[in-house]
Structure 1
Amino acid sequence: MSTQLEKYDATYRQHLQKTDVNESLNPKTDANRTIGPFNYIFMWIGDGVNIGNITLGASLFVAGIATLNIFQTFVAAIIAIGIISTIFSLNDRLGYRTGIPYVVQLRMSFGIKGSILPSLCRGIPAIVWYGYQSWIGGTALNEIVKIITDGAFDHVAICYVVLQLIQIELSLFGFHAIKWVETLTSIMIIVALLYVFGVLLTFHSDIITEKWVHAKGSWGLPFFAFIMTFMGNYAAIFLSAADYSRELKAGISETKRRFLYFVPILIAYGFALTIGAMLASATGISNPVKAFAIVVDNPYITFFVSVFIVLGTVAVNMVANIIPPTYVITLLTKLKFKQAVTLTGLLALASFPWVLVQDSSAKGLDIFILIYSAFLGPIVSILLIDYYIFRKQKVNVPELYQEDGPFAEYNPAAIIAMLIGAGTAFIKVELAWIIGVVVAGIAYILLTKYAFKDSTFKKGTIFDKQIMVKENENNREEFRHEI
C-alpha cells in the first residue's frame, strides 16, 4: 500500500522541504518506516507492563479498603481496553496513511497557530509521566545499589538523576532504539512479574482473597470512575496515535491494527493491574517498589525484580513519554530532534513526580489522570469528527505545512469546543473523559455548521460552499436522469 504522500507530485515534495518545519515533523514515506507488526506488539506490551500501571492497580485500595473487587476490576478493564483499541485504530489512520505526526494532524482541526494549545495538552502530561516513571525507576535503581553496597549507599535522588541521564542518551536514537529496547525488556519484565505473581499467590493468597477478591466493591460511580481513569491513562497515547502509526510498516488493515492494540494492551494492562492490586492488598502500600521489597524478602530476588523495574521504566518512557513531547517542543521551539529530546528529559527531571504517589495512597495519580483527560477527551473527539465526518477522510497534507495556507491561523470552532468540553468535564471529574468527548463533539459540530461562516477551515469539508454546490448539481442531474 502506498501512502497518500507517495501520490503527490514532485512539486509538493519540494514544497514540504522548503517549509520552515523541522524535518522530523515531515511525513514519513513507506521506505522510512521501520516497525513491523511483531515489534509493534511488543512495543505496546513494554508500554503496558510498567510501574505506572501497577500503581494504577494499587490505586483501587484507599486506606486498605478495595473500591472494586476482582470481578468488577476486570469488567471495567475489558470495557476500557475495547474502547481504547477502537479509538486507537480510528485516530491512527491519518498518520498511518500519510506519515504525518500528531502535532501536524492537529492543524487539520485547530490550525497552525491554534494547534499550540492542544499540543501542550498532550506534551505536558507526557513530561510529568516521564518524570514519574523515572522516579519509580530511580527508586528501584536505589534498591539495586543498596544491595550491591550492603546498605552503604541510599540516595534515591542521585539514582533518579542518573537514570534520567541514561534515558536521555537512549532517546537520542529515536524509534530505531525503541523497537529493540521494547522487545527485549517486555519479555524480561513479564518473566519477573510472573515470579512475583507466583509469590503473591503462594504466600499472600488469604489476605488478597479477603481484601480484594471478596470485597464488596461497587458497580456505581467508583466502577465508572475506574474506567475513566483507565482510559484517561491511555488518552494521551491514543490521542497522538499518528506518532506511532507513522512508524508502522505499510500494508496493514485497520482491523489488524486494532488487533495490534487490543491484544498487547489486554495482556499488559491486565497483568499490571492484577499485580498492583495484589501488592496493595497484601502490603497496604501503594508504592510498588516498596511493596515488592516487602513481598519478595530476598535480596537476590529483590535485586533482579528491581532490575526489571528499571528496564520497564525505560521501556514505557521510550514509547509513551519521550517522543510525543519531543515533537511538541520541536514544533514550538524549532529545535532539532536531539536538542528537543534532551530538553524533554530535563523538564521531566524537574517535574516533582514524587508528589503524585504516597506510601498510603496513589489517589494523587488518579486525580492527575482525570484532570488532564478532561482536555484530551475533547481533542480526540474533535479530530475524529473532523476527519471522518467533515472531511470524509480526505485531507490535503501539503496544505497542513503551508504557513500562508487555509490552515495557517487558528480554528475558533475547535478551540471553543475544546474549552467547552473540558469545562463541562470538570462538573463531574470522575467521568471527565467521556463527558468531554460528548460535549466537545456536539459543540464542534454546531459551531462549525452555524458559526464562523467565512472560516477557511471549512474548505474541503461537507460545509465547503463549493462542494455543497457541486453536490447539489450532481443530485439534480441524478434526479433528471431518473425522470
Structure 2
Amino acid sequence: MSTNVESYMTTETQIQHDTGVDESLNPKTDDGRTVGPIDYIFMWIGDGVNLGNMTLGASLIAAGIATLNLVQTMAAAIIAIGIISIIFALNDRLGYRTGIPYVVQLRLSFGLQGSIVSSLLRGIPAIIWYGFQSWIGGTALNEIAKIVTGGAFDSVAICFVVLQLVQIVLSLYGFHAIKWVESLTSIVIMLALLYVFGVLLTSHSEVITEKWVHAQGSWGLPFFAFIMMFMGNYAAIFLSAADYSRELKTGISDAKRGFLYFLPILVAYGATLTIGGMLASATGISNPVKAFAIVVDNSYITLFVSAFIVLGAVAVNMVANIIPPTYVITLLTKMKFKPAVTITGLLGLVSFPWVLVQDSSAKGLGIFILIYSAFLGPIVSILLIEYYVLRKQKVNISDLYKENGPFSGFNPCAMLAMLIGAGAAFIQVELAWIIGLVVSGIAYILLMKYTFKDSKFKKGTIFEK
C-alpha cells in the first residue's frame, strides 16, 4: 500500500464515540495497543498448548487403530500450519492497520444486518469451545480435588462450574489479563508436557510404536481430512484475526506477523498432537485427563500435571473463545464489555461439552469441527476477496460505523455466496473447509459482477459502475 493510502487509512480511522456501538468496538489507537511480538508469540503458544488440541491428536486413534501414522500426522500438521499462518497474516491485515475488530470487518462484505448472521457463525462455535475447554479443565481440577481430599470429593460438574466462574472474573480484565495469563502458562505447560513426553517415551514406547508410529495409516482421504480438521480447528480463530492483530503494536511487517503465527503454532501443536496420539495409543482412552491419570501412576505428579491442564484450559479460552463471542454480544445488544463477557461465560456453562468426547472416542469433536468449518471457510474467503480483490485494500473505515451509511442492510451476494459454499462443503464433509473456501470465493466474485446490478455494496469495488 502506498504512503498516500496509508495516510488516508489513518485519517479515516479517527472514529468518533457516537457510533452507536460500545467503545470496545471502536478502532484501536496506537496508544491502546499493548501487546508486543514476544507477548504475541506466548499468547499463541498458550492458545495451542491445550487439551482440546491434544484430544485432536488422540482422535487419530479410534478403537486402538491409527488412521494416520506418526509421519503422516506430522506431514499433515506442517502443511496445515503453513496454510493457517498465511491466511492469518492476510486476514489480520485490515484489523492490524486500522484497529477495527472482526465484527466490524464483517460489515465490509455482509453489511450491518448481514454481519449479524456471519458473526454468530463465529461466536457460537467459540462458546461451545469455551465450554469444552472448561469441562476438560474441570475434569483435571476434579483429579486434583480427589488427590487432595483422599477421594472424599469427586464431582466434575462442580469443578466445571467453579472453573468457569474463575474464568469469567479473569475475562473482565480483557487483554490485560490475557497477556500475563498466557506468558505464565505457556512456559510452564510446555515444561509439564515435556515431562509427560519423557514418561511416555520411556515406559510405553513399545505399544506406541506398534499402534501409531508403525501403523499403516493412509496418504489418501484420511490424510487430507486431518489437514482439513486441523485447519477447521483454527478456522474460527483466523477468521476473527482482526480481534487479535488490533492489540498488536504497530510497525510489524506482514511477513513477520506470519512468522509470529507459524512459530508458536508449530511448537504448540507439535507437542500437543504428539502427546495426544501417544496417550491414546498407550491407554486406548481419548480423554487426555483420564489417560494422564493412568500413564502417570503417581499422585503427586498427577496433581502437578492436572494443575497445568487447568491452566491450559484457561489460557486457550482467554485467547480464542472469550473475546470473539463477547464482541458479538456487545454488537448485537449494545451492552458494555463486562456484562457481555459475563454472559459469554454463562453460555459456556450450558454448551454440553461432555457430549463431544467420550472415553472410547473423540470423534464427536472432529465432527463438530468439520461441520462448523463448512461455514467459516466461506466467510474467510469472502472477506479476503472483498479486501484484496474487489477493494484493492482501500477502505473508508468511518463508513463501517454509520448505522445508515453505505454498509447498512445486508449484501445479498455475500449471503448467497456463503450459503453456496457451505452447501458445497457438506457434499464431502471431510474436506469441508477447503471446498467451502474455493466455491464461495468463486461464487462471490461472479455474484458481485453479474447480479444485483444496483447494489450499493458494489460502490468502492472493481465492479462499481
Q: How many pairs does the alignment contain?
A: 462
Please say if 1:21 is aligned against 2:21. Answer: yes
2:11 to 5, 8, 12: 8
Q: Displacement, 1:16? A: 2.9
Report Cα offsets for 1:33-74 as digits up to 9, x if no partner.
Answer: 000000000000000000000000000011110000000000
Structure 2 counterpart of 1:449: 449
Are the counterparts in 1 of residues 10 and 98 from structure 2 also a CA contact under 8 Å? no
What is the distance in 2 between the residues matched to 1:240 and 1:56?
21
Q: Displacement, 1:4? A: 6.0
Structure 1 counterpart of 2:222: 222
Q: Displacement, 1:7? A: 2.9
Which sections of structure 2, spanning at least 5 residues, go unmatched?
none
What is the distance in 1 between the residues matched to 2:78 and 2:144?
35
What is the distance in 2 between the residues matched to 1:132 and 1:5?
43
**Bigger radius of gyration among the two:** 1
Distance 1:3 1:58, change over 3 A: farther
Indicate the percent of aligned positions where both proteins have the same amino acid.
79
Are the counterparts in 2 of residues 69 and 213 from structure 1 also a CA contact under 8 Å? yes
Structure 2 counterpart of 1:184: 184
SS in 2 for 1:387: helix
What is the distance in 1 between the residues matched to 2:306 and 2:37?
29
Structure 1 counterpart of 2:114: 114
What is the distance in 2 between the residues matched to 1:117 and 1:374?
15
CA RMSD in angstroms, aligned pairs only: 1.2
Structure 2 counterpart of 1:95: 95
Alignment of structure 1 residues 89-238 onto 2, 5 Å: 89-238=89-238
What is the distance in 1 between the residues matched to 2:120 and 2:394?
26
Which sections of structure 1, spanning at least 5 residues, go unmatched?
466-483
Alignment of structure 1 residues 267-346 onto 2, 5 Å: 267-346=267-346
What is the distance in 2 between the residues matched to 1:16 and 1:57?
47
Alignment of structure 1 residues 290-439 onto 2, 5 Å: 290-439=290-439
Are the counterparts in 2 of residues 5 and 98 from structure 1 also a CA contact under 8 Å? no
What is the distance in 1 between the residues matched to 2:457 and 2:270?
41
Distance 1:3 1:183, change over 3 A: farther
SS in 2 for 1:114: helix
What is the distance in 1 between the residues matched to 2:255 and 2:277?
32
SS in 1 for 2:445: helix
What is the distance in 2 between the residues matched to 1:395 and 1:241?
17
The one-letter code sitting in structure 2 at the alignment partner of 1:345 is G
The one-letter code sitting in structure 1 at the alignment partner of 2:352 is F
What is the distance in 1 between the residues matched to 2:28 and 2:7?
11
TM-score, normalised with respect to structure 1: 0.94
What is the distance in 2 between the residues matched to 1:206 and 1:393?
54
Are the counterparts in 2 of residues 16 and 401 from structure 1 also a CA contact under 8 Å? no
Report Cα offsets for 1:260-301 as digits up to 9, x if no partner.
Answer: 000000000111000000000000000000000000000000
Distance 1:249 1:274, change over 3 A: same
Q: Displacement, 1:3? A: 7.1
TM-score, normalised with respect to structure 2: 0.98
Q: Displacement, 1:117? A: 0.7
Are the counterparts in 2 of residues 3 and 29 from structure 1 also a CA contact under 8 Å? no
What is the distance in 2 between the residues matched to 1:177 and 1:162?
19
Q: Displacement, 1:19? A: 1.4
Report Cα offsets for 1:362-406 as digits up to 9, x if no partner.
Answer: 000000000000000000000000000000000100000011111
